[in-house]
Amino acid sequence: MRADPPELAAIFAGGFVGTIARAELDHVLPVSPGSWPWSTFIVNIAGAFALGYFTTRLQERLPLSAFRRPLLGTGLCGALTTFSTMQLELLRMLDGGLVALAAAYALVSVVAGFGAVAVATNIVRRARVSK
């Protein structure tokens, strides 16, 4: 398997934008110990929505492109979402004895993420196709 420099550049460009967006939101909404981590929650749900939208639109509505998926899916959505941070936040909540908060955060995050993908997919599929 060979590296494809233009594809890697697309991933890098999308990843740069996603990382900056996530970092800026972390700056605006810092996480306090023992509270709901809003910045992580928001980027994960927004990323799930964007991934559902992009995947459906790119697969079902637009001509194939070698760079759209790496740019938007792998790069942007991959860098925007941060499920590893979510895991660390859950472990910190559990270590702090905040079992109910951790359970609620995990459940709401997963349900809202699946819901966001479903909504985004339905938006793309219900949109009129212009001819």
Question: pLDDT band at 62, cuts 50/70/90?
Answer: confident
What is the sign, positive or negative, of the torsion defined by CA atoms of 24, 27, 28, 34? positive
pLDDT above 90 coverage of the chain, percent: 78
Question: pLDDT band at 130, cuts 50/70/90?
Answer: low
The region, left, alpha or beta by phi > 0 then psi within -120 to 50, assigned to residue 33 is beta
Q: Quick check: 46 pLDDT over 80? A: yes
Secondary structure (DSSP) of 83-118:
HHHHHHHHHHHHHTT-HHHHHHHHHHHHHHHHHHHH
Question: pLDDT band at 66, cuts 50/70/90?
Answer: confident
pLDDT of residue 129: 65
Contacts of 40 (CB under 8 A, 6+ apart): 31, 82, 85, 86, 89
Contacts of 85 (CB under 8 A, 6+ apart): 37, 40
| Mean pLDDT, rounded, for 10-32 | 95
Q: Which tops the pLDDT comparison, 111 or 31?
A: 111
